[in-house]
Amino acid sequence: MRKTKQNLCDAWAKHSITLFVAISLNILVFQAPVKAAPSSPNIILILADDMGIGDIKAINSASKIPTPNLDKMISDGMYFTDAHSNSSVCTPTRYGIVTGRYAWRSSLKKGVLQSKSSHLIDLNRMTVASMLKQKGYNTGVVGKWHLGLDWEDSNDWSKPFTGGPNELGFNYFYGISASLDMDPYAYLLNNKATQNTTSTIAINPWPAFWRGGDVAPDFKMDEVMDSINGHALSFIRNHVDSAPNQPFFLYLPFTGPHTPHIVPPRFKDKSEAGARGDLMYQCDWTVGNVIKLLDSLQISENTVVFFTADNGAHSKTYRQTGHTPHSNLKGQKADIYEAGHRVPLVVKWPGKIEKGVTSDETVVTTDFMATIAAIARYQLPNNAGEDSYSILPVLMNRSYSKPLREASIHHSFDGTFAIRKGDWKLTVDNMGSGGFSNPKVKAGPGTLYNLSNDISEKKDMYSSDSAKVAELRILLKKYKDEGRSTPLNRNDWLLPVGTAKPLAKTNYWKLKRTPSSIQVVLSSNSKYVVQLLTLKGQKIVSLSGEGRVINLSTQNLTMGLHLLQVEINGQTYTKRVLIQGKG
C-alpha cells in the first residue's frame, strides 16, 4: 500500500493514543514494530546541464532568473564557492562523477560522445552505483546519460542496447541517451527505447536548437524535463513504498538548461532571461519537487541531496538577454577559463550538515565517488575513484588536512589542461580558451593567474613567476604519469557519519535564520559587537551592547554572500552568511 501523508498522520495519531494510554495507566505497552529507516542515508545527486554559478539568484543578485528552490536549498545546506566540474563539457564530467576519475585518463581525450558512440566507462570499473549496490542500495538514474551505449544495431533504435547504466551498477534507468539536441529522440527504459522512432525531424534553429534525427511518436522536446521530473519522483515513491528499510541512490541528471531551450507553456516568460532562463526556472522547480517529496515522505533527514552542474553556460544562449550566468568569471562552457568549469555545488542533509554555511574549499565533481563511499562507509580500493577526495570532513566540519585536495586538474573541450593549486591556476600549452570562446587556440607556453585577486583571469603572471609555473608543471605531469591524484590506501570512510560538529568559532554563538532576519544567540550574556560586512569588508550593519540574543534585520539588504563578524568579550569570529533579502 502506498504510504500517503494521510496514512502517516493516522499512524501518528494511533501511536500518540497508545502512548497516552500507556502513560496514563502506567503500564508497559509493547507497540507494533514501526518501519525502520534504512541504516545508511539515501543519496540523491542532481546534475544540471550547462549552468553557471550566476544562474542562482541567491549567489548572483543580478540574475534574471528566479530560483526560489535552489535559494532555499542553499540556506538549508552548505554551498561551495570554489567547486569545479572535472571538464568544461558534458561527457567527461559525467565520466568523472560516475567513476571518481578524470575522464582524460579514459579513451576520450577531448570533445564529447555522439549519438551512436559506444560505452565509455570500462564495464569492469567500479562506479558510484556499483559501489553502493554492494552496500545494499537500490540504485537508479533518471535523465540524460551521455556516457555511450552499445546499440545492437545503430541503424535501428528499436533494438536493445548493452553497456548502459544497468551494466554499470544502476538497477533502474529511465531517460535519454545523450544531450537533448542529439538523436535518438526517444525515451529509454533500462536497455531499450519505450517507443520506436517512426519519423525524422529536421535541425531546429537556436535557441530551441536540436540536430536533425529520428524521433519516437511520444517524444516532445518541451515535455522531457517534466517526464524526468515525474519518473524521478516515482522512483523515490516506489522505493519508499516497497523497500523502506533499504537505502536508495538516485542520480538525476537533468536535460536542462542545455539546448533546446524550450519549455511547457506554463513556464514561458517565468524569467527575464529568455527561453534559457525559463528552462532554468523549470529546473529549479524540479529541484523543489524532489525536496518537497522527501519532506512529505518524512525521509528528508535521512537523505543527502547534492546539486551541481556539469559545466558552465553556452554564451550563444544568453548573451542577448543581459543575464550573467557566470557573474564576473571569464569565458563560457567548453573553455578552460573559470566560466567553463566553476559550477554551483549545494549539499543538503537536514540535522547533519549545518544550515546556511559556505565552504571555500576547492572541490571537484570527481569527489562525489569518495564522498558517497565515505557516507556509505565503504573503503574504496586503489583501482577506483583515483581522482576522488571525500568532502565529508568539510560537510561534517571535522578536522582534515587543509587544503582538502593537494591540487585539481581542469580540462577543456579541445583537451587543453590547467592545474589549480591554492590560489594559482596554470594553463599549459595554449593561451586561448581551449573551448568555444575566441581565440580558441593561441600559440604559447601557457598562462598563470592568481585567482585570489584575479578571479576574472585578466593579469597573466606566467612570465613573472617561473618558480610557480615549474612547480605546477611538475605536479601536473606527476598526476598524469601516476594514473591518480589521490594517495594510495585511503581511509576516508573511517570518519563516522554523524551530526556536523558545530563550527569551532560558533562554540560561543549560534545563528538562527528567518527569510528576513539573522538572530545571533550567544551562549551566555556577553558584551558584543555584531557587524555585517560585504565580502570586501565594507560595513553594512553594526550593533553593539550587552545581552544574549541579537536580532539583525536583513529585509532591506541585497541578496548574496556577506561576512558576519561577531565580537564577544573582545574576541572576534567571522563567518560567511547568505542573505536572502531583496533581489
The residue whose Cβ lies closest to Ca ion is: 90
Name the minimum Å distance from CB 322 to Ca ion: 23
**Nearest residue (CB) to Ca ion, 437 versus 531:** 437
List alpha helices for 297-367, DSSP H: 338-341
- Choice between 90 and 391, CB closer to Ca ion: 90
Whether 116 and 341 have beta carbons less than 8 Å apart is answered as no
50 touching Ca ion, by CB under 5 A? yes
Least distance in Å: CB of 339 to Ca ion?
13
CB 149 within 8 A of CB 116: no
C-alpha cell at 339: 566560466
> Quick one: which segment of 84-92, 159-167, 421-429, 482-490 binds Ca ion (CB under 5 A)?
84-92
158: left (phi over 0), alpha (psi -120 to 50) or beta: alpha
Decide whether 90 or 297 has the Cβ nearer to Ca ion: 90
Q: Which is nearer to Ca ion, 311 or 332 (CB)?
A: 311
Establish if 49 lies at the interface with Ca ion (CB under 5 A).
yes
The verdict on 181 binding Ca ion (CB under 5 A) reads no
Q: Is 55 among the residues that bind Ca ion (CB under 5 A)?
A: no
Please tell me whether residue 168 adopts helix, strand or coil conformation. helix
Cβ 102 to Ca ion shortest distance, Å: 17
Least distance between Ca ion and beta carbon 85 (Å): 8
Which residue, among 241, 239, 203, has the nearest Cα to 221 in the 3D structure?
203
Is 344 or 393 the residue whose CB approaches Ca ion more closely?
344
CB of 156 to Ca ion, least distance (A): 28
Q: How far is the CB of 208 from Ca ion (least distance, A)?
A: 17
Measured from the CB atom, the residue of 121 and 374 that comes closer to Ca ion is 121
Which range, of 31-39, 76-84, 85-93, 188-196, touches Ca ion by CB under 5 A? Answer: 85-93
Is 255 a residue that touches Ca ion (CB under 5 A)?
Answer: no
Closest CB to Ca ion among 50 and 76?
A: 50
Judge whether 261 and 202 are in contact, CB under 8 Å: no
Q: Which stretch binds Ca ion (CB under 5 A): 13-21, 87-95, 152-160, 415-423?
A: 87-95
Whole-number Å distance between alpha carbons of 208 and 256? 12
Residues numbered 262-321 forming contacts with Ca ion, rule: CB under 5 A: 310-311
Inter-residue contact 529 to 382 (CB < 8 Å): no
Closest to 44 measured CA to CA, from 364, 372, 396, 286? 372
Which residues, in sequence order, are CB contacts of 309 under 8 Å at separation 6+? 47, 48, 49, 50, 51, 52, 85, 343, 344
Scanning 7-15, 35-43, 88-96, 379-387 for contacts with Ca ion by CB under 5 A, the matching segment is: 88-96
**Which residues does 275 contact at the CB level (< 8 Å), separation at least 6?**
207, 208, 261, 262, 263
In the complex, least distance from residue 97 CB atom to Ca ion, rounded to whole angstroms: 12
Whichever of 313 and 376 has its CB closer to Ca ion, that residue is 313
- CB 225 to Ca ion: min, Å: 15
Query: Is there binding between residue 82 and Ca ion (CB under 5 A)?
Result: no
Q: What angle do CA 499, 502, 507 make, to 5 degrees?
A: 150
Q: How far is CA 135 from CA 130, 373, 513, in A?
A: 9, 9, 37
User: What are the helix (H) ranges across 78-218?
Assistant: 90-99, 128-134
Q: Which is nearer to Ca ion, 191 or 308 (CB)?
A: 308
Whichever of 308 and 580 has its CB closer to Ca ion, that residue is 308
β-pair type (172-176, 161-162): unpaired
**Residue of 90, 293, 299, 578 interacting with Ca ion (CB under 5 A):** 90
- As measured in angstroms, the least distance from the Cβ of 89 to Ca ion is 6
The verdict on 335 binding Ca ion (CB under 5 A) reads no
CA dist 226 and 228 (Å) reads 5
* CA–CA separation, 354 and 505 (whole Å): 13
Distance of closest approach, residue 310 Cβ to Ca ion, in angstroms: 4
Q: Give the interface size with Ca ion as a residue count (CB under 5 A).
A: 5
Binding residues for Ca ion, rule: CB under 5 A, are: 49-50, 90, 310-311
